[in-house]
Amino acid sequence: MERTRSAQSPPSDFIRQIVAADTASGRYGGRVVTRFPPEPNGYLHVGHAMGICLNFGIAEEFRGRCHLRYDDTNPEKENEEFVRSIERDIRWLGFDWGEHLCFASDYFERMYECAEVLIRKGLAYVDSQPTEAIREGRGTVTEPGVESPYRNRSPEESLDLFRRMRAGEFEDGAHVLRGKIDMTSPNMLMRDPVFYRIRHAHHYRQGDAWCIYPLYDYAHCLEDQFEDITHSICTLEFDNNRELYDWVLDNVGFAEPRPHQYEWAGLDLEGAVLSKRNIKPLVQARVVTGWDDPRLATIAAYRRRGVPPEALRLLAQLVGVSKTGARTEEAKLDFAIREVLNPLAPRVMAVLDPLKVVITNYPKGTSEEIDAAYFPHDVPREGSRALPFSGELWIERSDFEERPPKGFRRLVPGGEVRLRHAYVIRCDEVIKDAGGRVVELRCSYDPSTRSGTGAENRKVKGTIHWVSAPHALTAEVRLFGRLFLDTQHEAEVAEDGGVTAAPLNPGSLVVVRGVKVEPSIARDPADTRYQFERTGYFWRDPVDGAGDHLVFNRIVALKDTWAKRADVEVRATVTAEPVVATAKGADERPRPRAVDPVIAARSARYRDELGVAADHAETIAADPAFFEAALRTHANAPDVAAWIAVDLRGLLEGRALAELPFSGEAIGRLARLVQEGRTSRRAAKDVLARMVSEGGDPERLVETMGLAKVSDPAVLGGAVEAVLARWPEKVAEFRAGKSSLLGLFVGEVMKQTRGAADPEATKRLLAERLRS
């Protein structure tokens, strides 16, 4: 459904008020164009979700459009996995960019041309100082900066150096291009900011076509201009950047109406790490299991935990849009989740800490079915399931007290309690083991008190949940808490991947095994979200809960339990099976599962004997059949492991390797095609994406998709001629002496051939054609 703002309703926040005023005045001819511009250097977090809702929401409300633009100007940190994850997250939230998918790297040539404009105007210069000298020369907030000794280089000399920087003549750090603005400005960002730096690094989309890369403050305003963005919405941290945003656009020569930047407070969520810079070391140090570890605040983590996308959209409404930042309580997110799940989640029963109950007067060896409603009376939904009842049950250990405290309203020796949907039972005998621990309760039931018969007149003080022992399914349950105890230090993570002063919460993950769940869930779709009565909202983990192994993630508790959890040591006592659920020491890194010694040994063998990278070995060791099948067709183990652990893993979207429509041998053959030079790695990634979605033979797909590496001049000639015909003015500039344009032409040929062209052969052929 299209969401548009009613003509009668006033704009709800100051950003929308600005957009409404610009629309009413005709400032942009009635156009509203926003953009969401992530850098593909990590997974998005909940703070980004708020920005997505704001930018896409405004575009929908004002019948405009919102671009998804990747700010991919940093070649060392960006890759296709992050691109795919970002697109998956935005679509999961319920938004789509349609045909407006953009990449900053596609504008490199235009940005370069704008830089030459500034140099010719005397507004930019090449600085040859070391990085540290440039940093020191900027001064402080109380002291003005010091002009660079190269600040007065002539435009001609700077232009020559800049072109040679692009041509690759200099090493990293030898020169930078700086704006020539004001070294005494109170805004330190205006003290001759760096616009370009040399980086001899492979770019995931542009390959090796460029060795100079623009910095954010120079690039992002130009990207907005190239895309005709009307309202460039940023968080408050970019408040001081607005002056530089305007300076670049004005001095390159873009006239009004042009884009303008507006800032809002964004989201500061209590107890969450909201920085890719800080999340990444946690992933790399294996403090968490990955970007989708449910303890993180990434969108992928919320999705895996089971949080519905509607809850994050509701959170965006609850937080609102303001000019001043304020910390959002964790309880507000929990409220949004419960608000969405309460009317949708069927109620079922699960016993996390089982205690056996034997009903001595129930007919032995028999059972019955009770029709139990899925929803309470205050939820206007219908539906029920057949709930088996027998003479042996599981109840929660906490629902029985031999010496009850005052106010205890559950089962006690000689006392009665109602079983949810079933009968009233009385505890007649308590059975203990040699150590004095209660292991079984022997009870009697009153058959006249069955719920729903109209005869349940017995008044008892409490009602508890239960599961029939012979019919129960056994499951694992994961309970998640904050990753850090001290919310003032939750983000103190060192750049080298180590965790510094941040006090890790030893109870951030509690795994409870031996949980007993009613059997009705076996018939439900795997993505069903439940309310486990009296416990919380849960769903089946889409990764570890696939197949026959039941693993449930707690999405949210029924009420806020953090205050209690922070004051006591986290512990769980599971008696049905002697496993888990005790928190690790505060100085240990929590793990979602104990390390399987077989998997650990296999991982070590892959690493030590086959030369597989440690992180790749750990990933593939848990499911070795696929990897070892791939080795049968391509013996380069490190190469195969990288394809599986990095490229393929990013495409799985929760599926198991066994569910893919191709075998391990197929990915081995694909890797071999790249090694043999029959296709490029970039092209092979497109082939892999096709294989994941449709299956197919890699050799045949390379041919049918036109991705075989092309080095034959007779074949490349058509693409080369098409590119040269499309850029006649650039051809003229090259022939007039601008040899650095060769990289542009190579990149265009690579794009036209979808990465199939051999770069070296392409360079040779272009050089011949351009000089003929």
CA distance 89 to 300: 7
In this predicted model, what pLDDT tens digit does every residue of 313-337 receive, in sequence order? Answer: 999 999 999 988 778 888 999 999 9
Orientation angle between helical segments 759-770 and 728-735, nearest 10 degrees: 80
Residue 501: its pLDDT value, please?
45
Residue 642, burial from CB neighbour count under 10 angstroms (0-12, 13-18, 19+)? middle
Residue 6: its pLDDT value, please?
45
Residue 338: its pLDDT value, please?
95
CA distance 333 to 560: 11
* Two structure tokens written together for 127: 């600085």
Orientation angle between helical segments 80-93 and 309-319, nearest 10 degrees: 80
Residue 561: its pLDDT value, please?
43
Distances from the Cα of 726 to the Cαs of 299, 351, 615, 721, 722, in angstroms?
41, 68, 45, 9, 6
Cis before 759 (ω within 30): no
Specify the amino acid at residue 226: F
* Sign of torsion over alpha carbons 101, 105, 106, 112: positive
Q: How confident is the model at residue 754 (pLDDT cuts 50, 70, 90)?
A: low
Helix (H/G/I), strand (E/B), else coil: 357: strand
- H/E stretch holding 466 reads strand 466-468
For residue 370, is pLDDT > 90?
yes
Task: Give me the residue label for tokens 């000399």.
Answer: 157
**CA nearest to 556, candidates 311, 356, 749:** 311
In this predicted model, what pLDDT tens digit does every residue of 543-557 receive, in sequence order? Answer: 999 878 899 999 999
For residue 588, is pLDDT > 50?
no
Mean pLDDT of 588-614: 70
Residue 4: its pLDDT value, please?
54
Mean pLDDT of 76-103: 95
Task: Give me the residue label for tokens 């969405």.
Answer: 340
Quote the percentage of the chain above a pLDDT of 90: 63
* Two structure tokens written together for 329: 């309580």
Q: What order of strands is seen across the sheet that includes strand 33-36?
A: 33-36, 65-70, 101-103
CA distance 226 to 403: 74
Specify the amino acid at residue 570: V
For residue 493, is pLDDT > 80?
no
Residue 456: its pLDDT value, please?
57
Q: What is the largest CA-CA distance in the chain?
A: 103
* Two structure tokens written together for 327: 């910390």
**What is the SS3 assignment for 443-466?**
EEEEHHHCCCCCCCCCCCCCEECE
Q: Quick check: 625 and 667 in contact, CB under 8 A? A: no
Mean pLDDT of 17-40: 96
CA distance 316 to 49: 8
For residue 590, is pLDDT > 50?
no
Secondary structure E strands in 341-452: 347-348, 350-351, 354-359, 367-373, 384-390, 392-396, 416-419, 424-432, 438-446
Q: Quick check: 553 and 539 in contact, CB under 8 A? A: yes
**CA nearest to 530, candidates 594, 473, 469:** 473
CB atoms < 10 A from the CB of 28, how many? 20
Higher-confidence position of 136 and 738: 136
CA distance 297 to 291: 9
Residue 586: its pLDDT value, please?
32
Mean pLDDT of 56-81: 95
In this predicted model, what pLDDT tens digit does every residue of 391-431 receive, in sequence order? Answer: 999 999 999 999 999 889 999 999 999 999 999 999 999 99
Mean pLDDT of 370-376: 94
In this predicted model, what pLDDT tens digit does every residue of 700-716 receive, in sequence order? Answer: 998 888 778 777 788 78
CA distance 512 to 571: 10
For residue 574, is pLDDT > 50?
no
Mean pLDDT of 740-751: 73
In sequence order, the 6+-apart residues with CB closer than 8 A to the CB of 584 are: 506, 590, 591
In this predicted model, what pLDDT tens digit does every residue of 196-243 receive, in sequence order? Answer: 999 999 999 999 999 999 999 999 999 999 999 999 999 999 999 999
Residue 743: its pLDDT value, please?
67
For residue 1, is pLDDT > 60?
no
> What's the whole-model pTM score?
0.73
Task: Give me the residue label for tokens 């066994």.
Answer: 658
**CA nearest to 297, candidates 324, 321, 315, 322:** 315
Q: How confident is the model at residue 560 (pLDDT cuts 50, 70, 90)?
A: low
Residue 457: its pLDDT value, please?
64
Helix (H/G/I), strand (E/B), else coil: 455: coil
In sequence order, the 6+-apart residues with CB closer than 8 A to the CB of 19 are: 11, 32, 58, 62, 230, 231
Residue 247: its pLDDT value, please?
98
For residue 745, is pLDDT > 60?
yes
Mean pLDDT of 75-96: 95
Give phi and psi for 510, each to the nearest 5: -120, 120
Residue 576: its pLDDT value, please?
30
| Per-chain mean pLDDT for the chain | 87
* Two structure tokens written together for 686: 């497109």
In sequence order, the 6+-apart residues with CB closer than 8 A to the CB of 279 are: 42, 43, 45, 273, 291, 296, 298
For residue 565, is pLDDT > 70?
no
Task: Give me the residue label for tokens 């370009």.
Answer: 196
∠ at Cα 537 (533, 543), nearest 5°?
A: 130
For residue 487, is pLDDT > 90?
no
Mean pLDDT of 356-385: 94
Q: How confident is the model at residue 768 (pLDDT cuts 50, 70, 90)?
A: confident
Distance of CA 519 to the CA centre of its chain: 33
Q: Quick check: 612 and 638 in contact, CB under 8 A? A: yes
**CA nearest to 212, candidates 301, 129, 116:** 116
Residue 422: its pLDDT value, please?
96
CA distance 280 to 127: 33
